[in-house]
Chains A and B, each alone.
Chain A
Amino acid sequence: MKKTRNYTSLAVSLLFWLLLCAVVLTTAAEAKNLNVVTSTADMAALAQEVGGDKINVESIAKGYQDPHFVEAKPSFLLRLRHADLLVSVGLQLEIGWLPPLITQSGNPRIQVGAPGYLDASQFSEILEIPQGAVTRAEGDVHPLGNPHYWLDPENGRRIARGIANKLKDLDPGDAAYFQQRFQDFDRRLSAAEQKWDAEMRPYRGRKVVTYHRSFPNFTRHFGLDVIGYVEPRPGIPPTPGHTIELIQVIKRENCKVVLVEPYFDLKTPQSIGRETGAQVVVYLPSVGGEKQVTTYFELFDYDIGLLIKAFQSGH
């Protein structure tokens, strides 16, 4: 009888230790890496720069997709469900698809206002903030300013710093690692920025036309002059009347380059190109827009390379 009791207590204590081990192992496995989900590929690239191998990062939208019109597919919920941090572009860019995903994720950590929700626009310099009354007569305007703000290296640095600070808050154990990664990114970005600035310096003041208002921060940083848009109003497809007007403006201003995002139809830009002799350049607003563009640095390298080629051949 006593023997049986001994065996029972042995079994109970063994079970206890096994359970403890299991709990420790699972928490250790969970505590290993932070799961970061971002709305766009650019935020993912910047998070990867500062998070290194201490985070798993995934983007919802692809770089070659129009970030205004992403479908809120349930498969995204599978990622959001386990996310520790959600980084969004904000300024209502994702208003058509991110809110229901957040609501349905069943993940309290990433709800708006929770510690795991980060709106990167708060760190960035925002352009084209509408002054006075805002109406949709101006098209699909963003009342809080232009959400395509990540194409200025200065903003890239600020966003990276913001994400690094957030990662430090969420994972204080690796704070020094994130800080060191950010400093390293900062150094590399400064060096790259000098190179990009030097490459673009001869073309300051050059006139360009863009399809949508996707590049205000880029054109301002590199001193390009946007003289018109293929869209008559943001979000409104090209109309014949506006296209004729734009052709006249391009001819008058002697503009040589029309920049088009990879998700827009090339028909109208190409006919503008034929009429005016301007070159139509499929320009990437986001990391992942082309297969070879996988980092924030490669995005600028690629775009600046394209621009310079277009400007040079326009001579």
Chain B
Amino acid sequence: MRYVIRLAIAEVLFATSLFAQESTNPQAVPDQPDISALLQKISDLEDRIIAMEGQMRQLKDQQATAQPAPHSEVSAPALVAAPQQPIALGGAEGSAAKALNPDISVIGDFIGVAGHNPIQPSPSMQMHESEIGLQAILDPYARGDFFLSFGEDGVNLEEGYITFTSLPAGFVARAGKMRSAFGKVNTLHNHILSWVDRPLVTYNLVGGEDGINDAGFSIQRILPAPKGIFLEATGQLFRGDSADVFTASSKSDLSQVIHLRGYKDISESTNLDLGVSYARGHNDLGSNFLTQLYGIDATMRWKPLRRSIYHSFVLRSEFFWSQRQQLPLEQRAFGFYTSADYQLGRRWFLGGRFDRSDRNRLTNVTDQGGSLVVTYWPSEFSQVRGQYRFTRYANNIDAHELLMQVQFSLGAHGAHPF
């Protein structure tokens, strides 16, 4: 449109100058400065149109997310960073209301299993999980995130929390239900994992697939550290009900999680991420029986920046110690996993994992196993994965399984935690 206008003006100018030349009146010839002034004016107008287009995009994109829903009509002009009056979008009230909706995403996780596992049997095929994510900036001080997972057994609020992003002194706080900051894999949703399953130690010691996931508060802050080192402490207080790990028999049976994370870039492509975690809560035997968990996690990542979409390598280990008070004797268990994942090309990933873990209620019983994983990405939004898993349970019970997974993601692609 602008170019049509520009062309038209240029044509008029051209015609005028021709006419002026023909009329043999030398004074009527528009002189150079006039034309350049006009051109400047056109370019200024163009800038203004572009600025207005930008504001409209901002209105569509950000207005919704940057303001509290209940007062949207009143506070709209105040919060949009536009210098001028907001543009009235005639008849756009319906879509403007929709613009207040949160970002919605759905991630489907289909799993097929072949092979025999007498200890932890899985169905041959299952729509393991359909996770709905609803995420938005709540108001100028907070954002909200919800993850509802629809599994074979019903609906579960996997996470639902408010994050206060504008607290003084650099604190970031959360309230709601959340995956606790105990270690690395416990914080991750299924679709971000490098495997179809979770490591054996997760099932044996730290609550299985749901992990330590509970209602409560969390507060975290970056700590002062020598230059180049990222140090962050997280403290969490929960109700005390998490899978089969913690059980609150009374209101005062709260559980706590503390996590300290240190991170350093070794080079622009390599980094090291270390963490220590501690969790404490009461177990299913009652208020007088404590379970304490200790964890160490270490991750080394490599990703060359110039070829970051083609190659990467992640080496990760997590070690867990469980101390469970029960009758007749306190049980102390240990378990760990080590995994490595290499990205072969833009679409192909190859990985392996070694597992070994005691069981938290019977610590003289130890299971171990290993997995090989191949992942293929048709695009950023879908993923096909095959995993061969061997598990040698205690008493020499062996399980050979082939797991196949298809994951697909609809809607706004939210960012993954690092």
Contacts and interface: CB of A to CB of B under 8 A. Distances in A.
Given A65-B308, A123-B54, A265-B310, A103 B163 contact: yes
B310 A100 contact: no
A227 B298 CA distance: 48
A9 B324 CA distance: 59
Contact of B306 (A91, A111, A237, A263): A263
A73 B222 contact: no
A81 B309 contact: no
Contacts of B53: 125-126
Interface in A138-174: 139-140, 144-145, 158
Q: Is the interface of B mostly helix, strand, loop or mixed?
A: mixed
Interface string B371-393: 00000000111000000000000
B167 A62 contact: no
Contacts of B15: none
B50 A125 contact: yes
Interface in B107-149: 137, 140-141, 143
A74 interface: yes
B66 A73 contact: no
Interface string B12-41: 000000000000000000000000000000
B268 A96 contact: no
Contacts of A108: 141, 165-168
A74 B140 contact: no
A16 to B, nearest CB: 25
B198 interface: no
Nearest to A104: B172
A64 interface: yes
Contact of B222 (A103, A106, A114, A145): A106
Contacts of B380: 140, 235
Max chain B Cβ within 10 angstroms of own Cβ: one of A74, A78, A102, A158: A74
B11 interface: no
A108 B173 CA distance: 13
Given A72-B415, A106-B167, A158 B50 contact: yes
B52 to A, nearest CB: 10
Nearest to B66: A113
Interface in A76-106: 77-78, 81, 91, 95-100, 102-106
B331 interface: no
A14 interface: no
B315 to A, nearest CB: 16
B265 A73 contact: yes
Interface string B261-273: 1011100100101
A73 B140 contact: no
Contacts of B247: none
B54 A262 contact: no
B222 A81 contact: yes
A122 B57 contact: yes
A112 B221 contact: no
22 contacts: A66-B309, A72-B418, A75-B228, A78-B222, A91-B57, A95-B412, A95-B414, A100-B418, A104-B220, A106-B170, A108-B167, A111-B137, A113-B66, A113-B137, A123-B50, A123-B54, A126-B57, A144-B60, A158-B51, A237-B346, A262-B306, A263-B309
Given A64-B306, A78-B230, A237-B347, 7 more contacts: A65-B308, A73-B265, A96-B413, A106-B172, A115-B81, A123-B51, A236-B379
Interface of A: 62, 64-66, 69-75, 77-78, 81, 91, 95-100, 102-108, 111-115, 119, 121-126, 136, 139-140, 144-145, 158, 235-237, 262-265
- Leading 9 A-B pairs by shortest Cβ distance: A113-B66, A122-B54, A108-B166, A106-B170, A74-B230, A74-B263, A65-B305, A72-B418, A125-B50
